[in-house]
A and B are shown apart, each in its own frame.
Chain A
Amino acid sequence: MKLLIVEDERTLSDSIVSYLKQESFICDTADGYASALEKMDLFDYDCILLDINLQDGNGLELLKELKNNRKTDGVLIISARNSLEDKVSGLQLGADDYLPKPFHLSELSARVTAIIRRRNSAGNNILHLEEIHIDTQAKSVTVNDRSLDLTRKEYQLLLYFAYNRGRVVSKNAIAEHLWSDEIGGAANYDFIYTHIKNLRRKLVDAGSRDYINSVYGMGYKFA
Chain B
Amino acid sequence: MKLFTKYSRVNIVASILALLLGSIGYYFIIRSVLIHQLDDTLKVEEAEILDYVKTHDRLPEPANYRDQQVHFLPAQTETPRKFTNANRLDQHHQEDRYYRELLFSVRAGGQLYTVSVATSEEETEDLLEWIMLVTAAMILLLLGTLFLANRLLLRRIWQPFYNTLEGIRQFNLSSRKPLPARDNGIEEFKNLDSAVEQMTGKILKDYEMLKNFADNASHEMQTPLAIINSKLDLMIQDQGLGEGHLRQLQAMYDAVGRLSKLNQSLLLLTKIENNQFAHADPVALAPLIEDKMVQFEDLIRARNLTVQTILENGKLRMNAYLADILLNNLLINAIRHNRDGGQLDIRLQEDALVISNTGPALLFDPATIFDRFTKGHHSDGTGLGLAIVKQICDNYEFPLSYSYTSNIHSIRIGLLLQH
Q: Which residue of B lies closest to A167 (CB)?
A: B237
Cβ of B247 under 8 Å from chain A: yes
Quick check: B227 and A185 within 8 Å, CB to CB?
no
Cβ of A212 under 8 Å from chain B: no
* A110 and B230 alpha carbons, distance in the complex (Å): 14
The 4 closest A-B pairs by CB, nearest first: A15-B230, A102-B226, A80-B222, A102-B225
Cβ of B233 under 8 Å from chain A: yes
- Interface-facing stretch out of A27-35, A127-135, A168-176, A201-209: A168-176
Cβ of A84 under 8 Å from chain B: yes
Quick check: B382 and A191 within 8 Å, CB to CB?
no
Cβ of B74 under 8 Å from chain A: no
Given known pairs A173-B233, A181-B261, A182-B328, the reply for A9 and B227 (CB within 8 Å) is yes
Q: Which residue of A lies closest to B236 (CB)?
A: A168
Given known pairs A15-B231, A105-B230, the reply for A82 and B250 (CB within 8 Å) is no
B365 to chain A, nearest CB (A): 24
- Interface-facing stretch out of A61-69, A115-123, A214-222: A214-222
| Contacts A15-B227, A191-B299 supplied; 6 other A-B pairs, CB < 8 Å | A15-B234, A19-B230, A103-B229, A171-B253, A172-B253, A194-B298
Quick check: B226 and A170 within 8 Å, CB to CB?
no
A103 to chain B, nearest CB (A): 6
Q: List residues of A whose CB falls within 8 A of some B CB.
A: 9, 11-12, 15-16, 18-19, 22, 80-84, 100-106, 153, 167-168, 170-173, 176, 179, 181-188, 190-191, 194, 215-219
Q: Which residue of B lies closest to A12 (CB)?
A: B227
Quick check: B236 and A104 within 8 Å, CB to CB?
no
Quick check: B233 and A11 within 8 Å, CB to CB?
no
* A37 and B233 alpha carbons, distance in the complex (Å): 29
Complex contacts, A82 vs chain B, CB 8 Å: 222, 264, 267
Complex contacts, B332 vs chain A, CB 8 Å: 182-183
Q: Which residue of A lies closest to B380 (CB)?
A: A185
B401 to chain A, nearest CB (A): 25
Complex contacts, B264 vs chain A, CB 8 Å: 82, 181
Q: Which residue of A lies closest to B279 (CB)?
A: A84
* A106 and B228 alpha carbons, distance in the complex (Å): 14
Complex contacts, B253 vs chain A, CB 8 Å: 170-172, 218
Cβ of B155 under 8 Å from chain A: no
Interface 0/1 of B229-261, CB less than 8 Å to A: 111111011000001001101100110111011
Residue from the list B228, B247, B261, B382 in contact with A216, Cβ < 8 A: B247
Cβ of B302 under 8 Å from chain A: yes
* A191 and B336 alpha carbons, distance in the complex (Å): 14
Cβ of B271 under 8 Å from chain A: yes
* A53 and B381 alpha carbons, distance in the complex (Å): 30
* A28 and B88 alpha carbons, distance in the complex (Å): 135
Cβ of B94 under 8 Å from chain A: no
Main SS at interface, chain B: helix
- A–B complex contacts, Cβ < 8 Å, 12 sampled: A9-B226, A80-B219, A83-B276, A168-B236, A168-B237, A181-B264, A182-B332, A183-B296, A186-B254, A215-B236, A216-B246, A218-B246
Cβ of B5 under 8 Å from chain A: no
Given known pairs A181-B261, A182-B295, the reply for A187 and B226 (CB within 8 Å) is no
Q: Which residue of A lies closest to B298 (CB)?
A: A191
Quick check: A12 and B382 within 8 Å, CB to CB?
no
Quick check: A9 and B233 within 8 Å, CB to CB?
no
Quick check: A101 and B222 within 8 Å, CB to CB?
yes
B292 to chain A, nearest CB (A): 9
* A172 and B225 alpha carbons, distance in the complex (Å): 14
Residue from the list B226, B261, B321, B328 in contact with A103, Cβ < 8 A: B226
Cβ of B77 under 8 Å from chain A: no
Quick check: A187 and B336 within 8 Å, CB to CB?
yes
Interface 0/1 of B206-233, CB less than 8 Å to A: 0000000000000110110111111111
Complex contacts, A101 vs chain B, CB 8 Å: 222-223, 225-226
* A12 and B230 alpha carbons, distance in the complex (Å): 7
Q: Which residue of B lies closest to A182 (CB)?
A: B328
Q: Name the residue in A81, A105, A171 with the highest tally of chain B Cβ atoms < 10 Å from its Cβ.
A: A105
A43 to chain B, nearest CB (A): 24
* A194 and B297 alpha carbons, distance in the complex (Å): 13
Given known pairs A184-B257, A184-B258, A187-B380, the reply for A19 and B226 (CB within 8 Å) is no
Complex contacts, B296 vs chain A, CB 8 Å: 182-183
Quick check: B236 and A219 within 8 Å, CB to CB?
yes
Complex contacts, B299 vs chain A, CB 8 Å: 183, 187-188, 191
Given known pairs A19-B233, A188-B299, the reply for A12 and B226 (CB within 8 Å) is yes
Residue from the list A11, A12, A170, A176 in contact with B236, Cβ < 8 A: A170
Given known pairs A102-B256, A172-B257, the reply for A218 and B226 (CB within 8 Å) is no
* A58 and B371 alpha carbons, distance in the complex (Å): 37
Q: Name the residue in A9, A100, A184 with the highest tally of chain B Cβ atoms < 10 Å from its Cβ.
A: A184
* A100 and B261 alpha carbons, distance in the complex (Å): 12
A20 to chain B, nearest CB (A): 11
Q: Which residue of B lies closest to A78 (CB)?
A: B226
